[in-house]
């Protein structure tokens, strides 16, 4: 959530940057400033009323002590009126603050100056590319056909048990999936991230804290009986560890990692581009999350990007990095880099990771602060990234490592799988 003082002091910047998201925010921003002025006015009246009431109470006490009961009783009538006025002003203040917060919850984060303007993923900027695309044999197959041929992922069985988008991993497919999870976690903990096992359901406050609510309410599975949500990513429970927390500056930086299944309704997703593992309703992902001092959060973002580069280089998968345009940014992000692996059999790029800096946007919602060196409370910066999302990484491995004799397991994973080929 944007901070009101920041909006007031940088009105034109906020409007211009939000235009990168293809949002005409002038009316919303002006309304925020108007509501804040009305809130301030009510607060000033309330403060004056309470001050006057307190002063009269003291005066009444003096009058009673000096035997001037009649004058004291007259003033008591006035204090009764002031108490009623302050009660009404408190109610008005609460209403105005709620209206202001409701509006602020609807305004997305301000894009960083590096974010290119644009409407769709076609406007994203490629900033890095690594790896050679392998030349496959003539009978090469897409991963969903390979999964069937080697009996390692059963999409039809998942459809029978639950529905489309809930695959069943079998045999060497399940072991390869488990190997990837363990490998990702090991790489992350070796890089200094503390491993957490996190809940797979969160409450409404957690969804609001990281910006999934109210923006992505329709994309989340809602357990209505308990008003809980299945997590769309470990970012939600992981970042909410720090909700309503006051840290010391010496606590920073904080880095955590965790593996969770992720659940996304992905309503309206149909067609060839979502076949197989390309888009699922349930999938596995290993996440990295950082809480940083504002002065070094962009340095931390670069460190996260470089960390994921190392993982993909070790897997020897061809990949590229995109800087997302304003129209493709998530609601809470200020700057995002997407990693895409090239799927040779499908002849297309598949997103495997998003690495984002949210600056103070999530921290303001979460009330995540730290006490700086001069003793003042300051909002921290939060960041997160997929390291990595498994379905499309697995799809890339199956397709790019296929041979006529079977699917070779990347060397870095063989000590985890216990086998070197799926045949």
Contact present, 232 and 217 (Cβ < 8 Å) = no
Residue spans of the domains in the chain: they are: 4-105, 121-422
CA distance 125 to 116: 7
Q: Which residues contact 280 (CB under 8 A, 6 or more apart)?
A: 165, 166, 167, 264, 266, 391
Q: What is the fold, at CATH topology level, of the domain defined by 121-422?
A: BirA Bifunctional Protein; domain 2 (3.30.930)
- Please tell me the number of Cα atoms within 13 Å of 39 on its side-chain side: 15
CA distance 361 to 337: 17
Q: Which residues contact 61 (CB under 8 A, 6 or more apart)?
A: none
CA distance 100 to 1: 11
Query: What are the residues facing 248 on neighbouring strands?
Result: 371
> What is the block-wise mean pLDDT of the chain (423 residues), using blocks of 10 residues?
97 98 97 98 96 88 82 82 92 97 96 95 97 92 97 97 96 98 98 98 97 87 96 97 98 98 77 82 98 98 98 98 97 98 94 98 98 96 98 97 97 98 97
pLDDT of residue 372: 95
pLDDT of residue 267: 58
Q: Could you count the other beta carbons within 10 Å of the beta carbon of residue 158? A: 19
Q: What tokens does 354 get?
A: 């998003």
Q: Which residues contact 274 (CB under 8 A, 6 or more apart)?
A: 266
Q: What is the fold, at CATH topology level, of the domain defined by 4-105?
A: Helix Hairpins (1.10.287)
Q: Cite the beta strand spans of 243-367 per DSSP E.
A: 245-248, 254-263, 282-292, 319-323, 335-343, 348-359
Query: What are the residues facing 349 on neighbouring strands?
Result: 342
Q: What tokens does 316 get?
A: 């020897």
What is the β-pairing status of strands 254-263 and 194-195? parallel
């Amino acid at each position: 959530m944007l901070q009101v003082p920041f909006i007031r002091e940088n009105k034109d910047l906020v409007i211009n940057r939000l235009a990168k998201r293809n949002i005409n925010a002038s009316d919303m921003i002006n309304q925020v400033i108007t509501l804040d002025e009305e809130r301030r006015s009510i607060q000033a009246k309330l403060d004056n009323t309470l001050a006057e009431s307190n002063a009269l109470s003291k005066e009444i006490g003096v009058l009673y002590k000096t035997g001037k009961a009649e004058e004291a009783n007259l003033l008591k009538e006035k204090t009764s009126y002031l108490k009623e006025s302050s009660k009404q002003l408190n109610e008005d203040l609460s209403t105005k603050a709620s209206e202001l917060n409701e509006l602020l919850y609807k305004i997305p984060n301000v894009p960083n100056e590096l974010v290119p303007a644009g409407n769709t993923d076609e406007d994203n900027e490629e900033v890095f590319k690594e790896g050679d695309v392998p030349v496959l044999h003539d009978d090469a197959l897409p991963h969903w056909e390979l999964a069937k041929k080697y009996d390692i992922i059963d999409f039809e069985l998942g459809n029978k048990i639950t529905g489309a988008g809930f695959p069943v991993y079998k045999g060497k497919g399940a072991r390869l999936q488990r190997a990837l999870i363990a490998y990702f976690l090991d790489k992350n903990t070796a890089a200094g991230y503390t491993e957490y096992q996190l809940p797979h359901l969160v409450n409404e406050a957690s969804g609001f804290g990281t910006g999934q609510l109210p923006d992505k309410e329709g994309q989340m599975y809602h357990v209505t009986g308990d008003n809980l949500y299945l997590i769309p990513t470990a970012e939600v429970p992981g970042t909410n560890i720090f909700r309503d927390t006051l840290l010391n500056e010496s606590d920073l930086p904080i880095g955590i990692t965790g593996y969770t299944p992720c659940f996304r309704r992905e309503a309206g997703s149909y067609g060839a581009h979502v076949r197989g593992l390309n888009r699922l309703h349930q999938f596995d992902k290993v996440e990295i999350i950082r809480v940083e001092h504002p002065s070094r959060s962009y340095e931390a973002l670069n460190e996260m990007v470089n960390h994921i580069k190392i993982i993909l280089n070790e897997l020897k998968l061809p990949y590229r990095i995109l800087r997302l345009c304003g129209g493709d940014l998530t609601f809470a992000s200020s700057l995002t880099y997407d990693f895409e692996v090239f799927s040779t059999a499908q002849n297309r790029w598949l997103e495997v990771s998003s690495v984002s800096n949210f600056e103070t946007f999530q921290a303001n919602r979460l009330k995540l602060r730290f006490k700086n060196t001069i003793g003042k409370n300051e909002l921290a910066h939060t960041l997160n990234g997929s390291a990595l999302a498994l379905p499309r990484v697995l799809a890339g491995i199956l397709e790019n490592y296929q041979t006529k004799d079977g699917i070779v397991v990347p060397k870095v994973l063989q000590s985890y799988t216990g086998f070197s080929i799926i045949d």
